Amino acid sequence: MKVMAQMGMVMNLDKCIGCHTCSVTCKQAWTNRGGVEYVWFNNVETRPGQGYPRRYQDQDQWRGGWVRTKRGRLRLRAGGRFRKLLSIFANPVLPNIKDYYEPWTYDYETLTNAPLGDDFPVAQPKSLLSGKPMSVEWSANWDDDLGGAPEHGESDPIVERIRRESEDKIRFEYERAFMFYLPRICEHCLNPSCVASCPSGAMYKRVEDGIVLVDQDQCRGWRMCVTGCPYKKVYFNHRTGKAEKCTLCYPRVEVGLPTVCSETCVGRLRYLGLFLYDADRVTAAASVADEKELYQAQLDLLLDPDDPEVIAAARRDGIAEDWLDAARRSPVYKLAKVYKVALPLHPEFRTMPMVWYVPPLSPVVDRLVETGHDGEDVGNLFGAIDALRIPIEYLAELFTAGDPEPVRTVLQKLAAMRSYMRDVTLGRPANDAVAEAAGMTGAEILEMYRLLAIAKYEERYVIPTAYEGQAHELEEIGCSLDVDGGPGMGGSGPFGEASGRPAPVSVETFHALRQRQTSDDLVDPGERGATVNLLNWDGKGRPAGLFPPSRTDHPAPIGTTEPETRP
Amino acid sequence: MTTLDVVLWGVLPYVTCAVLVGGTLWRYRYDKFGWTTRSSQLYESRLLRIGSPLFHFGLLVVIVGHVIGLLIPKSWTDAAGLSQEGYHLQALLLGTIAGISTLVGIGILIYRRRTTGPVFMATTKNDKLMYVVLVAAIVAGLATTLLGASGGDEHNYRLTVSPWFRSLFVLQPDIEAMSRAGIAFHLHTLIGMALSAVWPFTRLVHAFTAPLQYLFRPYIVYRSRESGTASRAPRRGWDRV
């Protein structure tokens, strides 16, 4: 057993309202640059729908992820090492920019330069790739909220697959339509096929927290990773010629802050925390013969952080105590492994994805209420889950390789929680039979309810900061010349203003954000008179270094410091 | 043997070599971020998938041809029982096929570059210069291959160019042998040296990092976080804005 830690995420789809705040803040933070205009590290897609890039889930077309060979070994679906090198001069299955969308801007200048006339001037869309006028025909969220579903909905690969089995099961008529939102980031897989596809070895999984990153200095732009990732979450920066991907906001996570998408999520539906897993068994778990057993195999990889044997092995493998503590408090471990209400996205890709989803129950409840039933009665709910087979089959294709059973169990647990908690909230005696019907106890339901419904910031994001052994490096070590009146006074280094080593951006950001979050007043005397990153400052609080150090301790009498030397 | 011969075949090769090696080291040290294929496949795939393999595989055969022609002495192939005519036949056959596919390949790629809007937009001046030198080298090379077929000692590069090329490595350049070669060979060699000299400063550097190690490494790469926080230890330089 080799214990490794993995930073994971759980998203509760019941709460997602599809507001795209996560996408927008992520884009502002990471991809508001040339060359990645079309890139959304975080995107929210409406299901059913084609997704982004279009039909990315159809691996017959895009050839991402792993396949199991007849001899039971794993092989990249796009071909092994030799095949990769032979096709390196022109990747046979690279998505075209049109499969994402052609980025554009508007010719705003005509709005101000147009001559006077009867017509209003119009800002024409212009392609950011060719600079030519273009007609906007597709974008990252063109089919948002089932927009165009009667026409495009059939192109959803999952709809296609379910249709093959039964012509009648999925309809896009208004009366029979259903939808939910699926926010997606990089899955930071345990068995990442993008990493395996990179010929240069520029992509790697971080040993400490399992975050999958691209070494920008080592990437040579062979673009095999784009093909290798079945979720199409590695993107090609067409300006720099390098691959880029979601970083799980590692500069934030390293100092204990949640990712930007989690921090800004309006519905507070994201959870961040640690998984401990057995790295020795990953390949074996990913090679399970039956696709439908992949979910269970993935669950079995996750180790119980309270098990003394696991703790001993983790200590042996160099996992710090505060990380073990964080693993014990991990909300994602509880949702995925203890309550078993979070499911991985497309386990059949065999990459062991580490972003998990609590499937949505709401359409079931809404449907019951519409038909005049009591939407929160457990009997009705359980019955409805089975009767409304459309969502279950669809969800099963997304989360359990088509096996409806785990999805049904999860939905029953969520339904039981609603029913149980209604009794509690209305002051009626709690009905433990409801809990038992879903295979839980009343106490468990209460705990799960607490985590899903009212967990606070610190409970939703349990993120251990940088390692104990490196903790001292996080502290800013004062300059020895930084004494009153010394040459280092005011944050200058030994060779004048801004010389010496700058404070790491993550440290600076951490201090600025902490100050902003904790300060009530607008003025807070700072100590260091260095520079401050105004981009991190929103006017609230006073980050250290915004103004020079206060001189109120020894006020200089006006007029005495500079004697007049007029001739 | 004139002064010009000495400069062209005795001095220039070493200058070129210094620029190639020094430039590559410099580029690798200071511009790892710019060291990439700068692929434009995202914009256009159809023509690239014909042109690019045609060009690259053609070029690989051309490189093998150069290695055989320049590094293996005539005496060796003679000893192996390969007659001059036999050698020429295979060199002509292989060289012409490889040369033409390289030329057709780069032709398709340049046509694609010029006619596909986004690809043309992404073409830098550096690229344009590189294409001129590269195409010139290929055309001149193909010309020498065809000339070599016509026979005659002045076109037999294995008696002129190859001994000179090998003599460069032992720092005893055989300038006299090279000066006997025909004008086409002189031209091709000069363009070749120009290509080597600009190589480190163009996108062609990606060839130096051909990822052969991929065949031997485990699929999943793990890396430990570098010490400190964020990406890397801060370097001396301008403050971040």
Interhelix angle A404-425/A378-387, nearest 10 degrees: 160
Q: CA B60, CA A89: separation in Å to the nearest integer?
A: 12
pLDDT at A375: 75
DSSP string, B9-52: IIIHHHHHHHHHHHHHHHHHHH-STT-S----TTT--HHHHHHH
When scoring B27, B221, B226, B240 by the number of chain A Cβ atoms within 10 A, the one with the most, hence best to mutate, is: B221
**pTM of the shown model:** 0.84
A207 at the B interface (CB within 8 A)?
yes
Q: How close B101 gets to chain A, by Cα (Å)?
A: 14
> How long, in residues, is chain B?
241
Give tens-digit pLDDT for B117-149. 999 999 999 999 999 999 999 999 999 888 876
Instruction: Note which residues in 93-112 of chain A have CB less than 8 A from chain B.
Output: 94-97
pLDDT at A270: 97
When scoring B29, B36, B42 by the number of chain A Cβ atoms within 10 A, the one with the most, hence best to mutate, is: B42
Q: Could you give the ipTM of this predicted complex?
A: 0.89
Residue of B nearest to A38 (CA): B42
Give tens-digit pLDDT for B190-230. 999 999 999 999 999 999 999 999 999 999 999 987 654 44
How would you classify the pairing of strands A242-245 and A270-278? unpaired
pLDDT at B89: 87
Cβ–Cβ gap B223/A218 under 8 Å: no
pLDDT at B83: 86
Mean pLDDT of chain B: 90
- Tell me whether residue B165 is exposed, middle or buried, using C-beta atoms within 10 angstroms of its C-beta: 0 to 12, 13 to 18, 19 or more: buried
Cβ–Cβ gap A236/B36 under 8 Å: no
B29 at the A interface (CB within 8 A)?
no
- Tell me the chain B residues in contact with residue A237 when contact means C-beta distances shorter than 8 Å: none
pLDDT at A478: 43
Cβ–Cβ gap A85/B214 under 8 Å: yes
Which positions of chain A have pLDDT values less than 70?
Answer: 166-171, 174-175, 363, 386-390, 466-509, 511-512, 515-533, 535-536, 543-545, 548-567
B219 at the A interface (CB within 8 A)?
yes
In 3D space, the residue among A28, A20, A29 whose CA is nearest the CA of residue A140 turns out to be A20
Closest partner CB to A90 (pick from B52, B120, B223) = B52
- CATH homologous superfamily for B3-215? Transmembrane di-heme cytochromes, Chain C (1.20.950.20)
Cβ–Cβ gap A205/B221 under 8 Å: yes
pLDDT at A487: 39
Paired strand residues for A76: A66
- Tell me the chain A residues in contact with residue B211 when contact means C-beta distances shorter than 8 Å: 85, 88, 199-201, 220, 222
pLDDT at A504: 57
Q: What's the rounded mean pLDDT across residues B68-96?
A: 89
Q: Phi/psi zone of residue A79: left (φ > 0), alpha (ψ -120 to 50 degrees), beta?
A: left
pLDDT of B39 above 60: yes
Q: How close A205 gets to chain B, by Cα (Å)?
A: 5
Cis check: omega of the bond before A360, within 30 degrees of 0? no
Between B44 and B156, residue with greater pLDDT: B44
Instruction: Note which residues in 326-385 of chain A have CB less than 8 A from chain B.
Output: none
Q: What's the rounded mean pLDDT across residues B68-86?
A: 89
**Domains in chain B: boundaries:** 3-215
A477 at the B interface (CB within 8 A)?
no
- Tell me the chain B residues in contact with residue A506 when contact means C-beta distances shorter than 8 Å: 229-230
Closest partner CB to A221 (pick from B37, B222, B223) = B37
Closest partner CB to A206 (pick from B37, B117, B225) = B225
Q: CA A357, CA A394: separation in Å to the nearest integer?
A: 14
E strand or H helix that includes residue A280? none
Long-range contacts of A54-57 (CB under 8 A, 24+ apart): A54/A99, A54/A100, A54/A138, A54/A155, A55/A99, A55/A155, A55/A156, A55/A157, A56/A95, A56/A230, A56/A231, A56/A232, A57/A157, A57/A158, A57/A230, A57/A346
